[in-house]
Amino acid sequence: MTSQSAKKSKTDDSDWRGNFPALHQEINGHPLVYLDSAASSQQPAPVIAAVQTYQECSHANVHRGVHTLSHRATEAYEGARDRIADFINASSRTEIVFTSGTTDSINLVAQSFCRPTLKPGDRIVISHLEHHSNIVPWQMLCEQTGAELVVASIDESGQVDVSEITDLLDERVKLLALAHVSNALGTVLPVKEIIGIAKTRGIPVLLDGAQAVPHLPVDVQDLDCDFYTFSGHKMFGPTGTGVLFGKESLLEAMPPYQGGGDMILEVSFEGTTYNDLPYKFEAGTPNIAGFVGLGAAVKYLQCIGMQRICQHEKELLEYMTTQLSEIQDVRLIGTAANKASVQSFMLADIHPHDVGTILDHQGVAIRTGHHCAMPVMEYFGIPGTARASLALYNTRDDVDALVVALHAAHRIFS
């Protein structure tokens, strides 16, 4: 982002909250306190307006018609690609492939990058704290190819061990796939250090950035990752939108993921010539309105500035962690030194689902359960956690409301 846009941005954090219409409602007679952004974030007015304007004035199919609406739709859709490329500092817009979400992005890499060359004896390395979407695609790939999935351990704080991962990265490893930020624990993994080690051994690295992009500045060139994946709906954009960043040389060499319209240059029954990047990977009519919304979400984030958001959330997470730890019988799950956005916890021996219901009745929305990270829950020996997750629109008032609601839950069960 530029310093010029920073000057234009809001100066008071509470103003950010004002940009999100969904936050201004009552739930069960209480003002909504939304602490579930790690599951899905709310959308600011500029995103809602961009989608509506597109639907009302610009909708047509992209990359096809000579008529005005098709041109407008294409400009809006491709404009989002330019903005996202700038946002994560990709070296070229052709490195930004639009998908339906992080899950789709990871499956694309598994099937298109890994599967054609993977053979029995090869290895894929992941960590114990991954979301199911960064586990299951690799399990399926290993079943298809006879390769082996190797899982790097985590410690009691919820952090990976760099030296263990270093030891695992031998010549059998064909890909290292890690979360940038853990969705269940909030751990920020030391990905730059790990990527540096993987690079010296020629091992490509994929990062699941779904929980990182809304909270931290992400620079894919600085990270030097080969693939970076994230979802629109966790970064204030619409659902059904996702991004796969891939280094151009790798994407060029990969076969298409799905066949269909838009991913071709020429089709005959003798054979088909595939389209250029990134369209080779975008078969069929895309979620145009969704990506228009995602482009507006990225613009919104750039106007505020990711450093500011990161600092705001860091202070708020520290406040929330301190407040939670002062509640009797709260056990914090995920206590790594470097964390973002998320705090999982247990309240006495009350099942997280009961905690969630009692909180909801006081207007406080949190996520409860295994957070699509069942191996993490197994590691900590618990069925699930209560998880409060922050976004730029949260304030200390939200944390205070959470604490009041937890005291009420404690009273009901004591």
375 forms part of the interface with another protein (CB under 8 A): no
Between 40 and 302, name the residue whose CB sits nearer to another protein: 40
Burial class (CB in 10 A: 0-12, 13-18, 19+), 97: buried
Q: 38: which residues sit within 8 A by CB, 6+ positions away? A: 183, 211, 234, 341, 342, 367, 371, 387, 389
316 forms part of the interface with another protein (CB under 8 A): no
Q: How far is the CB of 102 from another protein (least distance, A)?
A: 20
67 forms part of the interface with another protein (CB under 8 A): no
Q: Which of 22, 253, 267, 412 binds another protein (CB under 8 A)?
A: 412
E-strand spans in 180-270?
205-208, 227-231, 242-246, 264-268
Q: Which of 370, 376, 379, 390 binds another protein (CB under 8 A)?
A: 370
At residue 210, what is the residue type? A
End-to-end CA distance of the chain: 51
SS3 301: helix
Asked if residue 279 lies in contact with residue 262, where contact means CB atoms within 8 angstroms, the answer is: yes
Asked if residue 252 lies in contact with residue 227, where contact means CB atoms within 8 angstroms, the answer is: no
From 136-144, 252-260, 336-344, 360-368, span contacting another protein (CB under 8 A) = 360-368
Active site residue 372: yes
403 forms part of the interface with another protein (CB under 8 A): yes
Q: How many chain residues are in contact with another protein, going by CB under 8 A?
A: 26
Sign of the dihedral defined by the CA atoms of residues 306, 311, 314, 315, in that order: negative
Q: Which of 106, 160, 350, 388 binds another protein (CB under 8 A)?
A: 350
322 forms part of the interface with another protein (CB under 8 A): no
377 forms part of the interface with another protein (CB under 8 A): yes
Q: Which of 4, 29, 117, 200 binds another protein (CB under 8 A)?
A: 29
Q: 160: which residues sit within 8 A by CB, 6+ positions away? A: 127, 128, 129, 152, 153, 154, 178, 187, 189, 190, 194
160-219 binders of another protein (CB under 8 A)? none
367 forms part of the interface with another protein (CB under 8 A): no
From 160-168, 173-181, 337-345, 405-413, span contacting another protein (CB under 8 A) = 405-413
From 16-24, 165-173, 294-302, 355-363, span contacting another protein (CB under 8 A) = 355-363
241-280 binders of another protein (CB under 8 A)? none
Cis ω for the linkage preceding 278 (within 30 of 0): yes
149 forms part of the interface with another protein (CB under 8 A): no
What are 337's two structure tokens?
A: 């030194």
Q: Which of 24, 192, 201, 353 binds another protein (CB under 8 A)?
A: 353
Closest to 324 in 3D by CA, of 393, 405, 391, 215: 405
Query: Rounded to whole angstroms, what are the CA distances from 332 to 130, 387, 400?
Result: 19, 10, 17
Residues that bind another protein (CB under 8 A): 28-29, 350-354, 357-358, 361-362, 368-370, 377, 383-384, 400, 403-405, 407-408, 411-413
User: Would you name the residues annotated as active-site residues?
Assistant: 372
